[in-house]
Structure 1
Amino acid sequence: MTGGPGPTQPLADTNPPGGQSQVPPPLVDVVLLTMNDRPEEERASQATLLAQRGVEVRICVVGNGCTPDVVPAGALTVVLPENLGIPGGRNEGALALAELDPPADYLFFMDNDASFPGPDVLARLVAEAGQHPEAGYVQPRLTGPDDTTTPRRWVPRLRAGDPGRPGTVTSMTEGVVLVRRTVFDQVGGWCEGLFLYHEGFDLSYRIWSQGYSGWYAGGLRMHHPLSSPSRHALFFRLAARNRVWVAYRNLPGPLIPVYLAAWTTATALRAVRGGGARESWQGFREGWAGRHEQDRRPMSWRTAWRLTIAGRPPVL
């Protein structure tokens, strides 16, 4: 790990005119991953982050198998000799920021091509967390650059007809999510073995298992390019493998076959239109063969019931 000249400067004036003291703004640690493959998008994304007001931010840019080329002034950098995957890289960034004093109130994980459409979005997201202390994580609505289009996969609930409707959610869209620092540490962070895909399901299950919930601030928007996850060559195999591992890591035994049956059926139906049946089957087999290598901490039946009444039984 290599450090920059220090954390970014506060983005809010904590000493108003007259010298009267004021409560300091919330402290948010932000983790950005890079593989140096989209420098222009990264510069634009970071500019919107640095423009945020009403919060104090500290930034860590993690080079996943590279030395980051685009780093804001004052940010920390972490140089990983190999690509650890998205959850592994995020954990390394969170670990580096944990060494700073004082500890942050929140962690914000942000894709390096996501952007804030206005300077108050992060502060408003933190305010939502303050209004929902039961929520271990809070996330905004993610849209395309047009500020309107929200693919179904970006809405963290089953009923996605109105993507602007806020409410309690049981999953998360990993690319832009605010997590309470104490909760993140309590559950052990992201599952590094997943490497890519469905790590949000795993983290949300772990958070719910600790008695917290999730909150979707559907009225707050962030932007992200409209790309399909299937553009990645490993998508079908890793997505199927990780479904098995998420189930084995988190679900009570009787629910595992129900969950896998539901997702096998859904995958087969999608393969009729989008292909990937062979790779998905390979992933399911790989996941089942490697399930015992996972850290199994099944949720209680009470947590399963809480997830169900919140709108998503943990078999879907």
Structure 2
Amino acid sequence: MTDVSAVVISHGHAEELGTLLPVLAPQVDELVVVANRPGSLPAEVPRGARVVENVAPRRLAENVNLGVAATSGGWVLFSNPDVVPEPGAVAALHGFAVTRRRCGIAGPRTSWPDGSWQPTRRSFPTVRGTLVRRTPLRRLFPPLERQRDHYHLDEDIDQPLEADWLLGAFLLMRREMLDELGGWDEGYRHYVEDIDLCYRAMRAGWERWYVPAAQVTHDWARITDRRFLSRHTLWHARSMGRFLRKHPETAARL
């Protein structure tokens, strides 16, 4: 069995993969690329990488589970196509995670393309905070300025720390945990899958760790932050509704 497998989902992100894959491939033992629609693959795929091409587009969680099933590593790294890991980023995540028997998920310190810190270690969402983030109220109360506790904005730390949840752009996941939880929840159309995974991991006794020694750059599109009325906004609202139906106790977090 290989140790670290990587799964990358491309939904027309051929250009981004042309940058990511040559950097990621040397850091992992196995690499699977899921092409979710035509135009998803760069001109060249690293030697040894396997490509899974979908006949019809699937949901993100479906594609992650598909990629996980196509790999054999004891650890599975999921990466967005718009992430670029620094050399040694995967080794830093894995090197820390294996020292914690109950570490199920590990995530890196993330930067914007301009080098500034991107807060990806977060508290589980509250109803009030979500309403501000996903309505015009965000114009009055900018979340990345005002929601300091949710984003841990005052905690750009340099040592590993446990997290509620980690933004699902670049996550190292223990296969044993994924098998126990049944993988990512394919009922989500898009968005909130990462929160749900971390919440279910927490309830099952699996730790989620932020590991700042591992560093990546993420060109985060923030589509739902830029427009209030779009299909992405609707998908996010439906996903939050699903999360609350699955975990009604979280509604008490006002």
TM over 0.5: yes
Name the structure 1 match of 2:58. Answer: 84
Deviations 1:57-77 (A, max 9, x none): 211111113474233222222
Name the structure 1 match of 2:179. Answer: 185
**Contact 1:61–1:68, Cα closer than 8 Å, also in 2:** no
* Residue 49 of structure 2 corresponds to residue 75 of structure 1: yes
The structure-2 alpha-carbon separation of the partners of 1:35 and 1:105, relative to structure 1 and needing over 3 Å to count, comes to same
1:84 is displaced (CA, Å) by 1.4
Counterpart code for 1:43: G
Name the structure 1 match of 2:8. Answer: 32
- SS at 2:233's partner residue? helix
Unaligned runs of 5+ in 1: 1-23, 98-102, 263-316
Q: What RMSD in Å do the two structures reach over aligned CA positions?
A: 2.1
The structure-2 alpha-carbon separation of the partners of 1:78 and 1:133, relative to structure 1 and needing over 3 Å to count, comes to same
* Residue 20 of structure 2 corresponds to residue 51 of structure 1: no
Counterpart code for 2:59: G
Q: 1:159-198, aligned counterparts within 5 Å?
A: 159-165=152-158, 166-198=160-192
Name the structure 2 match of 1:93. Answer: 67
* Residue 86 of structure 2 corresponds to residue 117 of structure 1: yes
* Residue 32 of structure 2 corresponds to residue 60 of structure 1: yes
Q: 1:200-215, aligned counterparts within 5 Å?
A: 200-215=194-209
Give the aligned length: 221
* Residue 128 of structure 2 corresponds to residue 156 of structure 1: no
**Contact 2:92–2:213, Cα closer than 8 Å, also in 1:** no
1:80 is displaced (CA, Å) by 1.4
Name the structure 2 match of 1:218. Answer: 212
**Contact 1:155–1:163, Cα closer than 8 Å, also in 2:** no
The structure-2 alpha-carbon separation of the partners of 1:145 and 1:245, relative to structure 1 and needing over 3 Å to count, comes to same
* Residue 212 of structure 2 corresponds to residue 244 of structure 1: no
Deviations 1:175-199 (A, max 9, x none): 1000001111110111112121110
Q: Using the alignment, how far apart are the partners of 1:66 and 1:95 within structure 2? A: 22
1:51 is displaced (CA, Å) by 3.4
Q: Using the alignment, how far apart are the partners of 1:185 and 1:134 within structure 2? A: 14
Counterpart code for 1:90: V
Where relative contact order (Cα < 8 A, 6+ residues apart) is larger, the structure is: 2
Scaled by the length of structure 2, the TM-score of the pair is 0.79
Q: Using the alignment, how far apart are the partners of 1:248 and 1:213 within structure 2? A: 23
- SS at 1:49's partner residue? helix
Counterpart code for 1:132: R
- SS at 1:137's partner residue? strand
Q: 2:223 aligns with which of 206, 221, 229?
A: 229
Q: 1:126-165, aligned counterparts within 5 Å?
A: 126-150=94-118, 152=119, 154-157=120-123, 158=150, 159-165=152-158
The percent of aligned pairs where both chains have the same amino acid is 23
186-195 or 63-72, which deviates more: 63-72
**Contact 1:156–1:216, Cα closer than 8 Å, also in 2:** no
The structure-2 alpha-carbon separation of the partners of 1:155 and 1:78, relative to structure 1 and needing over 3 Å to count, comes to same
1:132 is displaced (CA, Å) by 2.3
Deviations 1:179-220 (A, max 9, x none): 001111110111112121110111111111221121111232
Name the structure 2 match of 1:6. Answer: none
1:135 is displaced (CA, Å) by 1.6
Larger radius of gyration: 1
**Contact 2:14–2:39, Cα closer than 8 Å, also in 1:** no
Q: Using the alignment, how far apart are the partners of 1:240 and 1:94 within structure 2? A: 27
- SS at 1:192's partner residue? coil
**Contact 1:68–1:77, Cα closer than 8 Å, also in 2:** no
Scaled by the length of structure 1, the TM-score of the pair is 0.64
